[in-house]
Structures are given as structure tokens and as C-alpha cells.
Structure 1
Amino acid sequence: MRLATLRTDSGTIAARIDGDRATEISGFADVGALLRDPEWRARAEEASGAGFGVPEPASAGWAPVVPDPGKIVCVGLNYRNHILEMGRPLPEHPTLFAKYAEALVGPYDDIVLPKVAAEAVDWEAELAIVIGSTARNLDEDEAADAIAGYSVINDVTMRDYQYRSPEWFQGKTFEATSPFGPVLVTPDEFSLGALLRGEVDGETVQQTPTDDLVFGPAFLVSYISKIVTLRPGDVIASGTPGGVGHARKPARYLAPGATLVTEVEGIGQLRNRIRAEG
């Protein structure tokens, strides 16, 4: 099953996507609100609201699939090839940091380069894990059952701010910088190992199977659930593979006018134009 948050003239709606058709899931303004209903799967499967053609790809009709998650937990250094690219040893434990919902934009919205940090803006294509039930102190089997599904996110990063201190947070959560969507795909329709890829102006810059993760989705949900309660609609950005601009010689960054494409096979594609703030 594929779920999306779509923008309409009267606000956003949660919808089930079946090929080129969308069906409104009545009573829910977005996928996050839907996931907070314990019967969300049945609500989505049985949806019989208004049906219509899905918005065109790269249109403004697509909102972030969960527009306002309570938590976005990001994982750093979680692909083997990226860890080696950065010259680090494989970690024993996940590296975690947070991102706020204000950072999110829709899958085809512009990414806004902030005035104060526009010189070293990097891409980080990632698989997103979306929580579907309350998760606290779960083992891995229980954690797998708490996953509502998967989506695509790009953890666009201001490298100059990231490395101002040993903590990465300030480089990771600038507003309107992280595209997220276009859909949530439930676990029965997605297999780890699907190809994750990033493209800048038509050039492939990242391409790695998602099973190159050091810490997989169920492990991450279990691990984080022992630190903090994960709730329906919360998001885990599971890390980026090798190919980031900062690791290149010379370094390469995003500039106004560029187009960033982020894709996970079997889920979908983000396509975002880069523009300067103001």
C-alpha cells in the first residue's frame, strides 16, 4: 500500500495511491494524522472517499508525506561505503542527531539555501523509516512490527555550520531544506536492498543498495525506543551512502539553480530545485 499527503484548494488530505489514481482517506488531514489512528491500515485499505488522478510528478500538489512529525531522528555514518569514504572505522553504536519538522519540504518543492550558510550546502540521499505504532523498549522483532513503512528523504546539510562544533545538529535542521516523500510504502511492498541514488543536475552522485546499512531499520527502531518513546508518524532518517559533495576532491556543493534528485527504487523520487533565500 502507498500513502501520500496531497495538497488541495481546501488544505491537505491523506490519500491512498493506486497507480495513477488517488483515493481520499476521509477524516485525516495527512498521513501523520492517519497513523495516529490505531486502525490506520484498515482505514486506508477501506478508504472510499473522493477519487481523482494523482497530481503530476514535480507538482506542488505533493506535501511532505508526514508534514509535522513529532520527532525526526537522523542516523549518521550508517552506510559502509560512506564511513570508509570519510576515513572512519565502522561504528559499534548508531550516531544519532535530531532534525525539526520545520526543515521539511514537499517532494517537489524548492530547497531554500539560507543566507547565512549558503557556501557549503551538501546532499545526503536517505531511506526514511516511518513509525506506525508506539514503540518503547522494543526488541528487534517487535520493532519491525512498529514500522508503518518507508519513504525518501534528503538530509541536506550546511557543512560549515555542521563543523562549527563536535555536535552536528546546527548544520542539519535549517528550515525548508529537507525534501520528504513522495509516498509512504508499507513494508509488505518494500524490500531492503533496493537501490538508493542521488543526482545533481543530471549526474549520478550517490548510488548504493539500501542493504549496505550498518544498522538496519528494525535495529534502529529498537535502539532508539530504548532512549525515547517513538510515536506514530515519527521519522528515522537512516543515513546516507558514499558520494557526498563534502568528501570529494575538490569538494562540491549545491548552488542556486541546481536540481537535486533523490530516489529509492520501489518508493519514488524527489526532484527539487535549489534557490537562494529571499
Structure 2
Amino acid sequence: MRLLAFQSSGKPALGLRLGDEVVNLSAEGLPATLDELLRAGPEGLAAARRAGESARSRLPLAGLDWLPPVQSPAKAIAVGLNYIDHAAESKFDPPTYPVLFHRFASSWVGHGKALERPHVSTQFDYEGELVIVIGKAGRYIAKDQALDHVAGYSVFNDGSIRDYQFKSAQWMMGKNFDRSGSFGPEFVTADELPVGAAGLKLQTRLNGQVLQDANTRDMIFDVATLVSVCSEPFALQPGDIIIAGTPSGVGLARKPQVFMKAGDVCEVEIEGVGLLSNPVVDGA
């Protein structure tokens, strides 16, 4: 099942994609956001499926005003250096424990919306990543049970302001400029993909040029490990997201370096999950 968030009459709505059409689940009496639907547990997703099967009215997918799939995650945990080749190009040893930081919801936009390069930097980099969406609450989750807590997956562009990222040992500043990243286009339930979303091709393209080309099987810490580790300090809640790290090929490590600028279009595509596309503009 593929769910998405969009604007309908100026308000957020939850949709179920069926090919080139969308069922407005909110108009069928379901919640307006995926966050709320996931809090209802397995019955929430089952209700979405039933509503999609019985709905008579559908919208065209084309021209949809997309929103990020999850509107207000209580926690958005990002993972650094989760591919060996990326750690090497970044001049770090491969981590033996996940490198974690946070992103605020104000730092990302939805599919089709503009990424904003802040005027204080010209080092606006791309990072294509898999998103893990939590569907079942838990703390101290064992690795062999971790996938039971995953509702599904999405795509993320972890846009990074590199010169701010490395002003200190903490990466928060460079990873949280307003509207510097993107999330979407939709949420795909775990049963639509291989176990743990393993073996999926991931590509990032800038103006059509392939700059990152990898596979999710190459993550140092797989989905189950990330969920288990992230559940240790705090309970994970439905709607929380884990942004699972980027492979090699980032602009900072290229010679010559490649950074995003106004007029560019950046695409992140993950096999079976979706294609996230955003234009780039100069921002505040």
C-alpha cells in the first residue's frame, strides 16, 4: 500500500495511491495525517486499505500538491556514515556504533517543493537516503523483533550545508537549515518491499547526472539494527522516522566539488519506494 500526504482545499489530507489516481482517505472519514493513522495501530492501516477498496471518488495523481508523508514526527533521527565508501570519502573510519543526529521538521519540504540554498553558504550538498517509518511503539527493542516495529519506508534528501556542518564536532547546524532537505513522495508499507528494505537500488541525480549509485544492502547498520539502537535511549513512537544514511558520491568529496545551486533539480530514487524530486532556489 502506498500512502501520501497532500493539500486539499488548503488543509492536509491523507491519500491512498492506486496507479495514477488517489483516493482521499480523509474525505472517507480517516485521519488527515499518516501520523494519526499510525497511532491507531494495525487497524489504522487496515482501515485505509478498506476505504481505498470501497471509495468511488478518486483524484488524478498529476498536479497533486504534495506534503511530506509524515507531518509531525515526535523524533526524526538521522544516521551518519552508514555506508563504508561514504565514510572513506569523508575521511572517517567506518563506525562501530551508529552516528546519530537529529533533523527538525522545519528543515524539509515535500516532493516537488523547492530546496532552499541559504545565502550564507555556497556549500549546499545532496544526500539520498532511505527513511524508516515506525509503526509500533517500543523501547529496548531486540534486533530480532525490530522489523515488527517498522510500518514502512520513504525517501529523503538529507540536504547539508557543509561549511556549517563542520564548524564544530556536532552536525546539527549544517543539517537543519530551514527547507534544506526533502521527504517523500509517499510512504510504502513494509509488506510491499523486501524484508528490511534490503537490496534496493538507490540513486541521486543532479540535473539528470547520476552522482550517487548504491544499494541498501551496503548499509553498515541495517534497518533492524538502527531500530534497535535508536530505541535504547527513548521509546520509539508511531510516526517517528529514522533517516538511514547516504552512500558515497556526495558533492563535498568530489573533485571538483559539486554543490546544489539555484536552477538545479535534484532527484533521489529508491527502487520500489519512489522518486523524490525537488528544484533548488536561493533562500533566505
Query: Aligned-pair distance for 1:244?
Result: 0.1
2:68 corresponding residue in structure 1: 64
2:237 corresponding residue in structure 1: 231
Query: Aligned-pair distance for 1:89?
Result: 2.1
Instruction: Give, as a single letter, the amino acid of the residue that structure 2 aligns with 1:74.
Output: A
TM-score normalised over the length of structure 2: 0.93
Bigger drift between 136-145 and 147-156 goes to 136-145
In 1, Cα distance between the equivalents of 2:55 and 2:169?
Answer: 50
1:276 corresponding residue in structure 2: 282
TM-score normalised over the length of structure 1: 0.95
Structural mapping, 1:1-278, within 5 Å? 1-25=1-25, 26-38=29-41, 39-47=43-51, 48-49=54-55, 51-56=57-62, 59=63, 61-116=65-120, 118-191=121-194, 192-277=198-283
Instruction: Give, as a single letter, the amino acid of the residue that structure 2 aligns with 1:6.
Output: F
What secondary structure does 1:199 align onto?
strand
Query: Aligned-pair distance for 1:230?
Result: 1.1
Query: Aligned-pair distance for 1:252?
Result: 1.4
Question: Comparing both structures, which one devotes a greater share of its residues to helix?
Answer: 2
Are the aligned partners of 1:17 and 1:54 in contact in 2 as well (CA < 8 Å)? no
Q: Render the CA deviation track for 1:168-210: whole Å, top value 9, x for unaligned.
A: 1110011112111111111111121110100001100001011
Query: Aligned-pair distance for 1:50?
Result: 6.1
In 2, Cα distance between the equivalents of 1:32 and 1:145?
Answer: 18
Structure 1 residue runs of 5 or longer lacking an equivalent are none
The count of residues paired between Structure 1 and Structure 2 equals: 275
In 2, Cα distance between the equivalents of 1:144 and 1:92?
Answer: 21
User: Percent identity at matched positions?
Assistant: 38
In 2, Cα distance between the equivalents of 1:113 and 1:54?
Answer: 31
Query: Aligned-pair distance for 1:261?
Result: 0.6
What secondary structure does 1:13 align onto?
strand
What secondary structure does 1:51 align onto?
coil
Query: Aligned-pair distance for 1:114?
Result: 1.6
Structure 2 residue runs of 5 or longer lacking an equivalent are none
Pairwise CA RMSD: 1.4
Are the aligned partners of 2:112 and 2:276 in contact in 1 as well (CA < 8 Å)? yes
Bigger drift between 37-46 and 169-178 goes to 37-46
What secondary structure does 1:46 align onto?
helix
